[in-house]
């Protein structure tokens, strides 16, 4: 029987990738800031690894536009990558479909560094 060494696994996956889901304003960004022990806004990168300008991020959030494939990274915790989804709201079938597609593509991604390693659902009361 083979065992997988935790250190070896960490090296193989590169960064730990988490999809965070919940409604807009559920407190997703806030809770990620807490776990990353930072008050900074995350940096957003597209799938090509290109940083998206902060002003562009802000204006697309305002328009309710966002791409689940974009990567959120806090400078304080570069070993973690977060994907943001607010696909659980009534009337956002498009977002929900994007989320399902993203999950089905990424849970079994051949490239370990592209795989999502955890899904975190944030509910608010």
Ligand X SMILES: Nc1nc2c(ncn2[C@@H]2O[C@H](COP(=O)(O)OP(=O)(O)O)[C@@H](O)[C@H]2O)c(=O)[nH]1
Q: Which residues bind ligand X (CB under 6 A)?
A: 22, 24-30
Tokens representing 99 are 């989320």
Which residues does 51 contact at the CB level (< 8 Å), separation at least 6?
A: 43, 44, 45
Cβ nearer to ligand X, comparing 89 with 114:
89
Residue with tokens 């304003």: 25
Q: Which of residues 72-111 bind Mg ion (CB under 5 A)?
A: none
Q: Which of residues 25-44 bind Mg ion (CB under 5 A)?
A: 28-29
Nearest to 68 by CA among 92, 34, 37, 33: 92
Least distance to ligand X from the beta carbon of 11, Å? 31
The entry of ligand X, Mg ion, none near residue 116 (CB within 5 to 8 angstroms by kind) is none
């Amino acid at each position: 029987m083979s065992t997988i060494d935790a250190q070896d696994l960490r090296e193989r996956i590169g960064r730990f990738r988490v999809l965070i889901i919940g409604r807009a304003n559920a407190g997703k960004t806030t809770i990620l800031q807490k776990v990353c022990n930072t008050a900074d806004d995350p940096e957003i990168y597209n799938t090509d690894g290109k940083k998206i300008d902060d002003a562009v991020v802000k204006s697309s959030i305002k328009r309710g536009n966002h791409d689940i494939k974009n990567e959120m990274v806090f400078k304080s915790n570069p070993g973690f990558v977060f994907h943001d989804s607010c696909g659980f709201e009534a009337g956002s079938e498009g977002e929900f479909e994007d989320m399902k597609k993203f999950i089905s593509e990424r849970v079994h991604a051949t490239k370990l560094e592209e795989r999502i390693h955890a899904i975190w659902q944030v509910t608010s009361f």
